[in-house]
Chains A and B, each alone.
Chain A
Amino acid sequence: MFFRLMLLTGLLIISILLSGCNGARELDQRANVVVIGLDKTEEEGMIRVSYQIAVPQIEDGKSDARKATLIITNTASSFAETRNLLNSEIALQPSVAHTKVIVIGEELARMGLDNAMSALMRYHEFRGSLFVVVARGTAQNILEKNKPALTTSITKYYEEMLATGEDAGYFLGTSLHQYYTRRKSHSGQPYMALVAINPESGEGEISTKKVPGGKSDGFKAGDIPRSGGNAMEFAGTALFSGDKMVGTLSTTETRMLAILLGRYSHGFLGVKDPLDSKSDVNVNLRLGSKPQLKVALVEGRPVIHVHILLEGEFSSIGSGINYEEEEYLDLLEAQINKVYQQEMMNFIKRTQELSADVVGFGYYLRPAFQSNKEYEDYKWNEKYYQAEVNVEVKTKIRRSGLMLRTVPVE
């Protein structure tokens, strides 16, 4: 009996040892792809994929930022095929498990993403917490021209950037999970952050003019007037309808989107001084409570009520007028409300024209229905453009920074 037991154990152990590594790979046998860029090619049915691979830097004291990553671009008939080709081009086995961002070229986005995205949802190395962004121009250009200035690591750059988008609300980081759930729900349309390479000439291009009373122009990525720093910038949003990209939003419009989604952390808003048209007042605003959105069906037509509460603190009062007093405060708040309401109405109208409900108003309509079948029969996305929208913004300015009052100067 003992002999049989020993024989069995011996055979089991041998079978384990002879079975090979079972797909185990040492750390230095894998090449970690950190960014993937997808582009459309001129030919039909082909796709161009750029892989940015992180190269481990040996600690010799000098870490060369230029050598920290390696970019390889392949063109083939499908995403998986480019992966096969990548295997022929680098020595180590490629692994996309550490991919942080997928950059999608604008033309590919306009053509339709379902084909490319199906691999992302099914293959086990991709996961829902990946970030996806749309690039104006080609993704390959983005990958190649991106040289992070403050951090040496590409992954840190992307993660920090996308995590802090909500600070000003000028761009919103989206994950693959958000994109996909929005796409499959019948209650809204997906959106993605917009990136581009800035020519850094100091001149920009305004996409959205400032509303009367406001002070901010809206820019899209690549159009911000600046010079210096990393050429790549994140600004604006790409709107999708279904899986095709139908339009873009500028920074101010994205801020409205952020407020409506409840993803607005805090940002500076400048308005013209209501009492002194030559100077402006700047307020640091954040959402006071979650935005109250109500969608109801009136005779088959959707009616949307939006109620936003903003809270803020003064960050600069140029004219020196004592806005901390009650009656002046009301004036200023009314000014801010007017500016924001106008911007929001413009934004919603724009999305209605493109029939791209990126805010997700359809979600708020769902409780009105009883069963899934009824809701799907209603086809919200097609009815969105007829919706009637009422927006109300309330602002309360609670604090005034370091100064209690402004004493007028003779």
Chain B
Amino acid sequence: MGQNILNKTFTSIKNLLVYQPVRLPDPFVLDETQQDGKNAADQPPLAGLAESLRQFEALLRYGERLGIFMKKTIEVLRTGQLRNKADLLKIEYMALEKQQAEIKALMLSNNNSEGGEPVISTSLEENQKIIEDIYTLPLNKDVVIRKLTIPGQPVIKALLIFMDGLADKKIVNMTVLKPLMMRPAREELYSADLVGIIIEEYLPSGQASRVGSFKEVKQAINTGDAVLLFDGIGEAVTVETKGFEHRGVDRPATEQSVRGSQNAFTEVLRVNTALIRSMLHSSDLVTEMIPVGERGHSNCAVMYLKSVANRELVAEVRRRIKGISTDLIIDSGMLEHFIIDFPQNPFPQTLSTERPDRVVAHLAEGRVAILVDGSPFGHIVPVSIFTLMHSADDFALHYYYTNILRIIRWICGFISMLLPATYLAISTFHQEAIPTELLLSITAARAQVPFPTFLEILLMEFSFEMIREGGLRIPGILGSTLGIVGAIILGQAAVTAKIVSPIMVIVIAVTGLASYSIPEYRLASAFRLLRLAFIFLAMAMGLVGMGCGLLVFTAVLCSMKSFGMPYMAPVAPKTIPGGDIILRTPAHMQQTRPDELNSQDVIRQGTISRPWTEEPPRGGGDS
């Protein structure tokens, strides 16, 4: 109709009055990845297109190289230096032929594998292209590619690739670049085994090896090694140049001991294995490296004493770790959950420790240690529940003291599991068991509390867990404040406000303290979980319910296995103990290794392990 006055007025009034929201661009929504939808339908033709493109580019590059070579040959022929340069030209010609044959093979192999691993081609440009494809260069600034030429007749073009930050620059410069670039020229490098000569004569590095596929090249670059690629050779050389920043060897954070070594594992696998080796100087100690994780490729070290550990146990550990297919293993705890027999059971079936001296003691008994790169905790298999209650300095202290402490620990384990439930059962079902005086004073204290006992227990448990969780995350300066606030004021205030009765505070405090006495954190957590179950049982059926619960708990524990060894091993199937179940015999009387490990060599030390007691003292010879 046109913009007459009425329309204009109407539009202007509307613009004035109607609320116009601010025009923002559409927010980001995390939709599904585009290729997922189109993947199934369009995959074959697109793949075909990308493949043809790549091949086309490869052919183009080959054509360029061929053109350069032909120009050079014409140059040589024209200037009449054929006799001198004939050998060099022949070598180049051979290289080109090989490259052509390779391109054919390359195309074939690229067609056959669905985006599989490319092989190392003899053409350096090809290789560089492939590396740039893999690592998203030049966008990805972590990977450094350095072109170099090795002096020789003819000059060898080479490529050095390493990861900035993971590789130690000094080592790269000193052990790779300097010897290669500074050596005097030498003839006929191409004719012989170039890679072999480079490795044996040119690289003063402790670990240099040859690799034949891009998979290994990738693995090497990703872990911090440097890779050398040569023009005309279908193999690469990896040089050990790892040198990234890591935490130094420190005191153990969670397993302090009074007497015993104070080393702890760090996050670097090599440092950990070195710590173990430094305590166990044995040529029988074998370290197998198994990579785990598809994308992560972390290394996992399996250590055992070859002459002692059961061969089938080692084979089983190896089989289980190799048989995992997962994305990424960050921590040894994750690995543990993949390889144990009963992942649904909260009880730990491996021993996790950050002290090398414990690992060494268990290795000597015939167990197997598993360490994962990036995690300062090592795992020991197989383990029984009695081993989990041993603490780190049991080896070093006198056995009377150790035994008393062990008994206290076991009693604390039971207290942390059963005390609230027992209190609940006796005070609500079996009141006659309490002495009359105590009963009257408890009743007097409880008379003003409005909640039933069961609810009081749950309330106090919850607040205790709150304090515990909060204490984990409080910054260090405020830690002691929390202690005072949480424990004293809350507890006292709760009693004065008659929300809980004083005896409940005592019960929960004793239970909490008892659960801290258990040396293994996961075992303590398992007991905590069971405490709740027992409280429910006691609420429903009193001591009878608790008896049923105890029986089922024992039955489930007895049916568990840790890597084929029964979980309650020296007690439940009765085997010859190794001198160290609940109580510990003195060190000079531990003659056999634990029977349930079925190690190859059962005798640990002779029957008379202190021959000096049999012989008379000789007296000073040179006094």
Contact = CB atoms under 8 A, between A and B. Distances in A.
A–B contact at 8 Å CB threshold (below): yes
Interface of A: 16-17, 19, 21-28, 30, 32, 34, 54, 56-59, 95, 97-98, 100, 125, 153, 155-156
B427 A27 contact: yes
A293 to B, nearest CB: 37
B133 interface: no
Most buried by B among A24, A25, A28, A153: A24
A153 B437 contact: yes
B542 interface: yes
Interface in B376-432: 427-429, 431-432
A46 B79 CA distance: 145
B436 A59 contact: no
Contact of A32 (B440, B446, B540): B440
Contacts of B443: 27-28, 56
B361 interface: no
A118 B85 CA distance: 127
B442 interface: yes
Given A24-B542, A28-B446, A56-B444, A155 B436 contact: yes
B572 interface: no
A67 to B, nearest CB: 12
B241 interface: no
Contacts of A100: 436
Given A27-B427, A32-B440, A57-B444, 20 more contacts: A19-B540, A21-B428, A24-B429, A24-B539, A26-B427, A26-B453, A27-B439, A27-B442, A28-B447, A30-B431, A32-B436, A57-B440, A58-B447, A59-B441, A97-B431, A97-B432, A98-B431, A98-B432, A125-B432, A153-B440
A54 B541 contact: no
A153 B444 CA distance: 14
B444 A26 contact: no
B445 interface: yes
Nearest to A30: B431
9 contacts: A19-B540, A27-B427, A27-B453, A56-B441, A58-B447, A97-B432, A98-B432, A100-B436, A153-B436
B452 interface: yes
Most buried by B among A25, A97, A100: A97
B452 A26 contact: yes
Q: How large is the interface on B (under 10, 10 to 19, 20 to 34, 35 or more residues)?
A: 20 to 34
A23 B440 CA distance: 20
A98 B439 contact: yes
A132 to B, nearest CB: 18
Contacts of A21: 428
B437 A27 contact: no
B348 to A, nearest CB: 24
Contacts of B539: 24
A95 B431 contact: yes
A59 to B, nearest CB: 6
Most buried by B among A19, A54, A100: A54
Contacts of A125: 432
A58 B443 CA distance: 9
Given A24-B428, A26-B453, A32 B445 contact: no
A54 B442 CA distance: 13
Contacts of A34: 436
Contacts of B439: 27, 32, 98
B429 A23 contact: yes
Nearest to B440: A56
A26 B455 CA distance: 12
Counting from the closest, the 10 A-B pairs by CB-CB distance are A56-B444, A97-B432, A24-B428, A56-B443, A28-B447, A56-B440, A155-B436, A27-B443, A16-B540, A58-B444
A313 to B, nearest CB: 36
Task: Tell me if B's interface is mostly helix, strand, loop or mixed.
Answer: helix
Contacts of A95: 431
B542 A54 contact: no
A253 to B, nearest CB: 33
Given A24-B429, A26-B446, A156 B440 contact: no
A268 to B, nearest CB: 32
A17 B427 CA distance: 19
Contacts of B446: 26-28
Contacts of B437: 153, 155-156
A156 to B, nearest CB: 7
B272 to A, nearest CB: 39
A408 B623 CA distance: 75
Nearest to A55: B440
Nearest to A16: B540
Contacts of B453: 26-27
A34 B442 CA distance: 16
B453 to A, nearest CB: 6
Nearest to A31: B443
Contacts of A27: 427-428, 431, 439, 442-443, 446, 453
Contacts of A19: 540
Contacts of B441: 56, 59
Nearest to B430: A97
Interface string B524-550: 000000000000100111100000000
A158 B327 CA distance: 75
A24 B541 CA distance: 9
A192 to B, nearest CB: 22
Contacts of A156: 437
B542 A98 contact: no
Contacts of B541: 22
B431 to A, nearest CB: 6
Contact of B540 (A22, A26, A56, A57): A22
A155 to B, nearest CB: 5
Nearest to A95: B431
Given A16-B540, A58-B447, A59-B445, A25 B428 contact: yes
B535 to A, nearest CB: 13
A54 B431 contact: no
Given A27-B431, A100-B436, A22 B542 contact: yes
B444 A59 contact: yes
Contacts of A57: 440, 444
Contacts of A59: 441, 444-445
Interface in B266-291: none
A383 to B, nearest CB: 42
A27 B429 CA distance: 9
A26 B436 CA distance: 15
Nearest to A159: B436
Contacts of B431: 25, 27, 30, 32, 95, 97-98
Contacts of B442: 27
Contact of A54 (B432, B436, B448): B436
Contacts of B440: 32, 54, 56-57, 153
Nearest to B432: A97
Contacts of B427: 26-27
Interface in B439-467: 439-448, 452-453
A249 B540 CA distance: 52
Nearest to A13: B536
Most buried by B among A54, A56, A125: A56
Contacts of A97: 431-432
Contacts of A17: 540
Contacts of A155: 436-437
Contacts of B428: 21, 24-27
A44 B431 CA distance: 37
A100 B432 CA distance: 11
B429 A56 contact: no
A47 B103 CA distance: 116
Nearest to A155: B436
A27 B453 CA distance: 9
Contacts of A22: 429, 540-542
B495 to A, nearest CB: 12
B422 to A, nearest CB: 14
A65 to B, nearest CB: 13
A140 B289 CA distance: 88
B530 to A, nearest CB: 16
Contacts of A26: 427-428, 446, 452-453
